Structure 1
């Protein structure tokens, strides 16, 4: 796709409820494109016009959970709309949007995917962790939690330019957990592609089914990133990373009722 069509596709996949109910002019304005570009995009996919493409999203909406913006509006109604521009107001804005993102995990993440990811982590001889730039805190958390569970893990640290070379040491029973969001780190994308070519299992945590990580992932967790006024949050990806390790702990400890992750001080 052209860059313009990529931008449209990204908006449609990350805002499906808006696509179902808004006019083509309103959607064009929101994704920074002229309405005629959306019509041509739909035709390029084989639809007679945008309304035919929109019907797909409308059908989905009849059974879908509320979208991100609907959750935000509901929370703002519950907590009160923001009327100040103080430092505390910034905190409130972030909390409202983070709560909405966390709620979305319960509808966007498939139980079977969580179970399959936990199974892969459980059976892996070593778990390789890959994430750079804004994704780095997520893999740092995973390294800490996996280490506390006694699971051998290797952080593909970009320092020294050795991440690509370290990834080549992955064995046939190892698993790669890759985390990347727009704009995707080039080295991360390249390592994922080479790891897939080598036949290794990949668990990907990213922002869209259109992410370059998606096509090579055995398990894909797509956590959409919504526009924040002044920041993009890692609350949902961090929560998902914790859920994966707790699910792994339940398997390792044969304790689905009350799995525990040890701490450094506890040990």
Structure 2
């Protein structure tokens, strides 16, 4: 039976708000489900319950109980909100469903070329989701913070490093004062303490989140430093203190997790900033030349 204390959310947006509100009080199994639902809404709309449970690493009965705790009669009723989202937010729903089923289904080609095809298909899907899920207001707000900042502090560790390294290069070439909070020597935390409210911290972290990145972001937020965060979920520990959060979901926690979408987002932010700084005409990144 549904949990009598709560009425079931009536829309996808309401469901996500409810999950956010109750996330901290959930069991570990329920938190796994919550993360998967918020990170993979398209998959949830088309996959069978058993496949979703397998991807969450839990038994299917946990999905049913999770849904009932939120006021639904069962998981299929909750899943219907994700299906409605797909039909209203994505033109060509039938084609999208077929593409997702093909992408997410088992593929037997384990050749070297097969790995390439697999990654390309997943990257195309991630980039499509990026365009659909990121709003103009988010981009504009982030670029405004970057433009107004005296200094932009960049922070990313583990596999997030390529994203902040790209930003350091482009922002430096644009003449923007930029500091990369390099963990070398254990100084990243101490360097970050120089940031003040007239600066900006741009933090990048994905599950499983680098502890130092999370701690630096929390300290910076407490001091009133604006934060633009790129992460994998609206339930990310970076979300709480972020002035702007870009949630770039990942399909699976595997070796092949791609940076195509976050790298594309980082480039988009840099190009948009270049357009602001350079005024009329097509934005250009200065080219490094050698004598």
1:88 equivalenced with 2:113 (yes/no) = yes
- Measured in 1, the distance between the counterparts of 2:287 and 2:72 equals 55
1:2 equivalenced with 2:38 (yes/no) = no
Residues 176, 202 of structure 1: 8 Å contact kept? yes
The DSSP-based 3-state class of the residue aligned with 2:251 is: coil
The DSSP-based 3-state class of the residue aligned with 1:214 is: coil
In 2 relative to 1, CA 7–68 (structure 1 residues): closer, same or farther, beyond 3 Å? farther
Residues 68, 104 of structure 1: 8 Å contact kept? no
User: 2:289 maps to what in 1?
Assistant: 265
The DSSP-based 3-state class of the residue aligned with 1:216 is: coil
1:135 equivalenced with 2:167 (yes/no) = no
Q: Kindly provide the CA deviation profile for residues 54-99 of structure 1, in whole angstroms up to 9, marking residues without a partner as x.
A: 33323322212269875456789xxxx9775432332222222222
In 2 relative to 1, CA 218–45 (structure 1 residues): closer, same or farther, beyond 3 Å? same
1:199 equivalenced with 2:224 (yes/no) = yes
**Pairing partner for 1:19 from 38, 44, 49:** 44
User: 2:56 maps to what in 1?
Assistant: 31
Give unpaired runs (5+ residues) of structure 2. Answer: 1-25
**Following TM superposition, by how much is the alpha carbon of 1:231 offset from its aligned partner in structure 2, in angstroms?**
1.2
Counterparts of 1:73-84 in structure 2 under 5 Å? Answer: 84=109
**Pairing partner for 1:43 from 65, 68, 73:** 68
**Following TM superposition, by how much is the alpha carbon of 1:6 offset from its aligned partner in structure 2, in angstroms?**
1.2
User: 1:238 maps to what in 2?
Assistant: 263
- Measured in 1, the distance between the counterparts of 2:115 and 2:27 equals 37
Residues 72, 97 of structure 1: 8 Å contact kept? no
User: 1:212 maps to what in 2?
Assistant: 237
Aligned residue pairs total 262
In 2 relative to 1, CA 3–86 (structure 1 residues): closer, same or farther, beyond 3 Å? same
The DSSP-based 3-state class of the residue aligned with 1:54 is: helix
- Measured in 1, the distance between the counterparts of 2:108 and 2:74 equals 42
User: 2:83 maps to what in 1?
Assistant: 58
Bigger Cα displacement from structure 2, 59-68 vs 151-160: 59-68
User: 2:140 maps to what in 1?
Assistant: 115
Counterparts of 1:140-151 in structure 2 under 5 Å? Answer: 140-151=165-176
In 2 relative to 1, CA 242–68 (structure 1 residues): closer, same or farther, beyond 3 Å? farther
The DSSP-based 3-state class of the residue aligned with 2:54 is: helix
**Following TM superposition, by how much is the alpha carbon of 1:140 offset from its aligned partner in structure 2, in angstroms?**
0.5
Counterparts of 1:125-204 in structure 2 under 5 Å? Answer: 125-204=150-229
Give unpaired runs (5+ residues) of structure 1. Answer: none
- Measured in 1, the distance between the counterparts of 2:49 and 2:108 equals 31
In 2 relative to 1, CA 27–228 (structure 1 residues): closer, same or farther, beyond 3 Å? closer
In 2 relative to 1, CA 188–265 (structure 1 residues): closer, same or farther, beyond 3 Å? same
The DSSP-based 3-state class of the residue aligned with 1:215 is: coil
- Measured in 1, the distance between the counterparts of 2:131 and 2:147 equals 23
Bigger Cα displacement from structure 2, 62-71 vs 179-188: 62-71
